[in-house]
Amino acid sequence: MDDNSGSTAPCAGLRIGDAAPDFAARTTAGDIRLSDFRGRWLVLFSHPADFTPVCTSEFVALVRRSHEFDTRNCALMALSVDSLFSHFAWLRMIRDHFDVEVRFPIIEDPTMVIARGYGMVAPGDSDSAAVRTTFFIDPAGTIRAISCYPANVGRSIGEMLRTLDALQAVDDCAALAPADWQAGEPLLSQPLAALDDVYAAEAATEWFYRPGLRRGDK
């Protein structure tokens, strides 16, 4: 998929477990390809427009916690329909007013080819007003989680980090992350899959609800 192709990509409606479609794009950090990020985690997120209040608050918050993504071997990449020069002007305003520098790449997507290809906007939409979607992509290039917020509600940076922690933790030991799980807390083991084990369990829930597994356990 190429952001300068001028046609709607055929991969709208991506789901968890799909391969993240590759693309080439011009960004505030130079020309990039999505596949350049293989080997590390990537959070690809879209925002409706530059110079908007909610998006500005998100970018400031992300920069201030960007080191927390770095320590998790995770890169950040943003996307909007605005031009590269609009991005530059907005980032200059953010730096001058909030004293933070946005260094992660922001893609320009004026034709919305990438946004449509990722299902961030519907094929018939004429603008990106409803776009605030986040894709968590693993080092192999697989989409592992997707979140979507309306334009008037900002993301939780803490929840983005929690989701990333949970994805990495369950990969480490083929475990399950329970509700409200936080890094360092016990995980759940996979349910037992043999009838003899089910009948042999001392408690009725012991075969399927098995807390206590720690990250890195086998």
Q: Do 46 and 73 sit in the same domain of this protein?
A: yes
- Range with the poorest average pLDDT among 23-27, 46-50, 57-61: 46-50
Nearest partner of 117 among 4, 14, 6, judged by Cα: 14
Question: What is the structure's pLDDT at 125?
Answer: 63
Mean pLDDT of the residues in the chain: 89
In the listed set 122, 155, 188, which residue is the last one of a domain according to the structure?
Answer: 155
Residue 60 in domain: yes
Average pLDDT over residues 195-204: 94
Q: Does residue 6 surpass a pLDDT of 60?
A: no
Residue 122 in domain: yes
Q: Does residue 69 surpass a pLDDT of 50?
A: yes
Q: Count of domains in the chain?
A: 2
- The letter for the amino acid at 217 is D
Alpha-carbon distance of 41 to 138, in angstroms, equals 5
**DSSP element (H, E) containing 197:** helix 195-200
Q: What CA–CA distances, in Å, run from 130 to 10, 150, 209?
A: 20, 6, 39
157: tokens are: 């940076």
**HSE toward the beta carbon, residue 176, CA cutoff 13 A:** 10
Q: Does residue 207 surpass a pLDDT of 60?
A: yes
Average pLDDT over residues 32-51: 95
Question: What is the structure's pLDDT at 81?
Answer: 87
> Domain limits at 63?
24-155
Average pLDDT over residues 75-98: 96
Q: Does residue 213 surpass a pLDDT of 90?
A: no
In the listed set 123, 155, 187, which residue is the last one of a domain according to the structure?
Answer: 155
Q: What is the pLDDT confidence band of residue 71, given thresholds at 50, 70 and 90? A: very high
Q: Does residue 37 surpass a pLDDT of 80?
A: yes
Residue 212 in domain: yes
- Output DSSP code: residue 36: G
Q: Which residue in the block uniquely carries the two structure tokens 């409200």?
A: 180
Alpha-carbon distance of 121 to 117, in angstroms, equals 8
Nearest partner of 82 among 132, 125, 27, judged by Cα: 27
Q: Do 33 and 88 sit in the same domain of this protein?
A: yes
Residue 179 in domain: yes
Q: What is the pLDDT confidence band of residue 101, given thresholds at 50, 70 and 90? A: very high
Q: Do 39 and 147 sit in the same domain of this protein?
A: yes
Residue 3 in domain: no
CATH number of the domain enclosing 137: 3.40.30.10
Q: Where are the alpha helices (DSSP H) in 1-129?
A: 53-64, 66-70, 84-98, 113-117
Catalytic residues: 55
User: Could you give the angle at the alpha carbon of 138 between the alpha carbons of 133 and 144, nearest 5°?
Assistant: 55
Q: What is the pLDDT confidence band of residue 116, given thresholds at 50, 70 and 90? A: confident
Residue 182 in domain: yes
Q: Do 140 and 33 sit in the same domain of this protein?
A: yes
SS3 label, residue 10: coil
In the listed set 105, 125, 155, which residue is the last one of a domain according to the structure?
Answer: 155
Q: Do 132 and 32 sit in the same domain of this protein?
A: yes
Residue 2 in domain: no
Question: What is the structure's pLDDT at 5?
Answer: 38
Q: Does residue 44 surpass a pLDDT of 90?
A: yes
Torsion, CA 118, CA 124, CA 126, CA 131, rounded to 10: -30
129: tokens are: 């007003």
Alpha-carbon distance of 104 to 58, in angstroms, equals 13
Residue 207 in domain: yes
Summarize pLDDT for 134-158 with one digit per residue, the tens.
Answer: 999 999 999 999 999 888 999 999 9
